[in-house]
Structure 1
Amino acid sequence: MPVDTSEATFQRDVIDRSYEVPVVVDFWAEWCGPCRSLGPVIEKAVDAREGQVELVKLDTDANQRLAAEYRIQSIPAVKAFKDGRVIDEFVGALPPAAVERFLDGLAPSEAERLVEAGGEQNLRRALELEPGRADATLELAKLLADRGDREEALSVLANVAGSFAAEGLAARLRLEADEALRQAFAALDAGDTERGLDLLIEAIAAAEPDKREDLRKAIVGVLDELGVEHPLARDSRRRLASALY
Structure 2
Amino acid sequence: MEVTDATFDKDVLDLSETIPVVIDLWAPWCAPCRTLGPMIEKVVDETEGRVALAKVNVDENPAISQAFKVQSIPAVFAIKDRKIVDSFVGALPEQQIRAWVEKLAPIESPADLLAEADDEQSLLSALELDPGHEGAIAKLANIKIGLGDYDAALELISRVPENDELRQLAAKARLLAKDISFSSQDEVEARLNELLSSVRDDDQARKEFLDLLATFDPSDPRVTQFRKALTSRLF
**TM-score of the aligned structures, taking structure 2 as reference length:** 0.78
Confirm whether residue 238 of structure 1 aligns to residue 205 of structure 2: no
Note the alpha carbon deviations across 1:164-202, whole angstroms, 9 max, x for none: 3312211211111444x32x1x33xxxxx4x25424424
**SS of alignment partner, residue 50 of structure 1:** coil
Q: Report the Cα distance in structure 1 between the residues aligned to 2:8 and 2:112, rounded to whole angstroms.
A: 27
Go from structure 1 to structure 2 and tell me whether the alpha carbon gap of 1:56 and 1:148 turns closer, same or farther (over 3 Å shift): farther
Range 142-151 or range 124-133, more displaced: 124-133
Structure 2 partner of 1:93: 91
- 5+ residue gaps, structure 1, are 188-192, 228-232
Query: Aligned AA for 2:108?
Result: E
Structure 1 partner of 2:216: 222
CA apart distance, 1:128: 5.6
Query: Aligned AA for 1:142?
Result: N
1:15–1:83 CA contact under 8 A, matched in 2: yes
Query: Aligned AA for 1:108?
Result: P
Q: Report the Cα distance in structure 1 between the residues aligned to 2:99 and 2:133, rounded to whole angstroms.
A: 23
Summarize the alignment of residues 135-154 of structure 1 with structure 2, pairs less than 5 Å apart.
135-154=135-154
CA apart distance, 1:38: 2.5
Summarize the alignment of residues 1-245 of structure 1 with structure 2, pairs less than 5 Å apart.
3-110=1-108, 113-114=112-113, 117-119=116-118, 120=120, 123-124=123-124, 127=127, 132-179=132-179, 181-182=180-181, 184=182, 186-187=183-184, 193=185, 195-205=186-196, 208-224=202-218, 227=219, 233-242=220-229, 245=233
Range 71-80 or range 108-117, more displaced: 108-117
Note the alpha carbon deviations across 1:91-112, whole angstroms, 9 max, x for none: 2333332321221222224259
Go from structure 1 to structure 2 and tell me whether the alpha carbon gap of 1:97 and 1:144 turns closer, same or farther (over 3 Å shift): same
**TM-score of the aligned structures, taking structure 1 as reference length:** 0.75
Q: Report the Cα distance in structure 1 between the residues aligned to 2:128 and 2:80, rounded to whole angstroms.
A: 26
**SS of alignment partner, residue 4 of structure 1:** coil
- 5+ residue gaps, structure 2, are none
Go from structure 1 to structure 2 and tell me whether the alpha carbon gap of 1:19 and 1:222 turns closer, same or farther (over 3 Å shift): farther
**SS of alignment partner, residue 72 of structure 2:** coil
CA apart distance, 1:157: 0.8
Go from structure 1 to structure 2 and tell me whether the alpha carbon gap of 1:81 and 1:72 turns closer, same or farther (over 3 Å shift): same
1:81–1:87 CA contact under 8 A, matched in 2: yes
The number of aligned residues is 227
CA apart distance, 1:75: 1.8
Larger radius of gyration: 2
Q: Report the Cα distance in structure 1 between the residues aligned to 2:194 and 2:113, rounded to whole angstroms.
A: 39
1:115–1:135 CA contact under 8 A, matched in 2: no
Q: Percent identity?
A: 34
Give the superposed CA RMSD. 3.1
1:169–1:218 CA contact under 8 A, matched in 2: no
Go from structure 1 to structure 2 and tell me whether the alpha carbon gap of 1:116 and 1:22 turns closer, same or farther (over 3 Å shift): farther
Go from structure 1 to structure 2 and tell me whether the alpha carbon gap of 1:64 and 1:126 turns closer, same or farther (over 3 Å shift): farther
1:123–1:139 CA contact under 8 A, matched in 2: yes
Go from structure 1 to structure 2 and tell me whether the alpha carbon gap of 1:116 and 1:136 turns closer, same or farther (over 3 Å shift): closer
CA apart distance, 1:72: 1.5
Query: Aligned AA for 2:151?
Result: E
Go from structure 1 to structure 2 and tell me whether the alpha carbon gap of 1:211 and 1:124 turns closer, same or farther (over 3 Å shift): farther
